[in-house]
Structure 1
């Protein structure tokens, strides 16, 4: 039995080495993440598989959250992936407030360090609005409900000024009225953030038999 196992390992040494290196790569360098919900619409949609740069902020010990070397800190507008202890799952959101910022929201309009974000209407649909949000010299699309929905969503439209302490970040989904983000789970500890995403790897249409959406392959975000 031992000889058979030893021979099997020897004959498949190259394959085992490849699998081991791939697991280390996915754990510490880069990976992809399925997006099952619409909390980041229109930037990310259900069925997207996004690329995760796990070395964007830290060089981590493989198969752990332990940071060996800090490379950089998340910036406003970064799309981050984090293992949320509060939500008990991995989440994808956009960084809105960094340590030292004071952020408030009034009827889905942001105010960061006493400077209001600028908004440009892109399109209006039956039940939602697409707008371009400009903060700190960068812009991205957000989606808001045309009319207030249930009480939970209505409550998400505003929050009082919050000053972000050291080691924490305020994150929000681009689908502002349908996102369980810092307005629900609280501020995100720096230690929970595992990487940054800037591109959709590929996408499958959940509503059409998982047919690939070729127009979203390698789409920048």
Structure 2
């Protein structure tokens, strides 16, 4: 039996499984996806080891495996947690939408200023934040509200960070993104505003969570209390 015939017979014998894999791949690239959280940029909302469910149809219907928008389905809202491709290098990121097209956005001493109004987080309280094993710094945590939707944010005063940004007007078709961990996030302060076609989807729920790096080194401890919880 020659190799091409053998390959065809193998494919035919497993065509059901192959169709399933193709369908699953298309589902992940066009309908729903999950996103592991590898960094601390969205603390305290999202923790390293969280896995979030991403709705790829929240805003746009796209041609699978591309950024080509076939149809706009809904508009992003201030306060949405979204996944997107960095306009600089294509890295997949997850941040919060704070500025819509036409909004005036600035930061003053770490405080978000939206359309001329400072959004001072309140109340603030102090907690310990582990930056790396054995390295704990003070974290100032509070609640910020965007369009009536509250979410947690934190600042890390001991770290050097870009806490002041001159006011910009978000261009048409673009969005200004910030991480909830304001002093440890690569977001629109560094990568610029994000074009709509770079949006992947809206993260709306935690699927599972596990603490994979504790103060004593590597470990894997499920955080069952966070499983299937909605995002704010």
**Pair in the same fold by TM > 0.5:** yes
CA distance in 1: counterparts of 2:20 and 2:90, whole angstroms = 31
- Give the one of 85, 94, 97 matched to 1:95: 97
Is 1:149 aligned with 2:151? Answer: no
- Cα distance in 1, alignment partners of residues 67 and 173 from structure 2: 15
Of 34, 40, 43, 1:41 maps to 43
Alpha-carbon shift at residue 84 of structure 1 (Å): 0.8
Q: 1:105: Cα distance to partner?
A: 1.3
Q: 1:118, 1:135 within 8 Å by CA — same for their partners in 2?
A: no
Corresponding residue for residue 165 of structure 1: 171
Aligned residues: 216
* Structure 1: gaps spanning 5 or more residues: none
Give the structure-1-normalised TM-score.
Answer: 0.92
Tell me by how many angstroms 1:123 deviates: 2.6
Shift of 1:194: 1.1
Post-superposition offset of 1:5: 1.9
Q: Tell me, yes or no, if the aligned pair for 2:125 and 2:140 is still in contact at 8 Å.
A: yes
Alignment of 1:98-137 (within 5 A): 98-126=100-128, 127-137=138-148
2:72 is matched with which residue: 70, 73, 88?
Answer: 70
Q: Deviations over 1:39-63 (max 9, x none)?
A: 0001111111111111111111111
3-state SS of 1:110 partner:
strand
Computed over aligned residues only, the root mean square deviation of the Cα atoms, in angstroms, reads: 1.4
Q: Which moved more, 1:5-14 or 1:203-212?
A: 203-212
Runs of 4+ in 1 over 3 A off after TM superposition: none
* Contact kept? 2:87, 2:191, Cα under 8 Å: no
Name the CA shift for 1:83/1:121 in 2 (closer, same or farther; >3 Å). Answer: same
Bigger mean CA offset, 61-70 vs 82-91? 82-91
Query: Shift in Å at residue 122 of structure 1?
Result: 4.7
Structure-1 separation of matches of 2:23 and 2:97: 31
TM-score (normalised: structure 2): 0.88
CA contact (8 A) 2:85 2:91 kept: yes
Query: Contact (CA 8 Å) 1:101, 1:113: kept in 2 or not?
Result: yes
- Matching of residue 175 in structure 1 with residue 186 in structure 2: no
Contact persistence 1:82–1:90 (CA under 8 A):
yes
Gaps of 5+ in 2: 129-137
The match for 1:84 is 86
3-state SS in 1 of match to 2:11: helix
Deviation at 1:7, TM superposition (A): 2.0
**Structure 1: distance between partners of 2:184 and 2:64:** 34
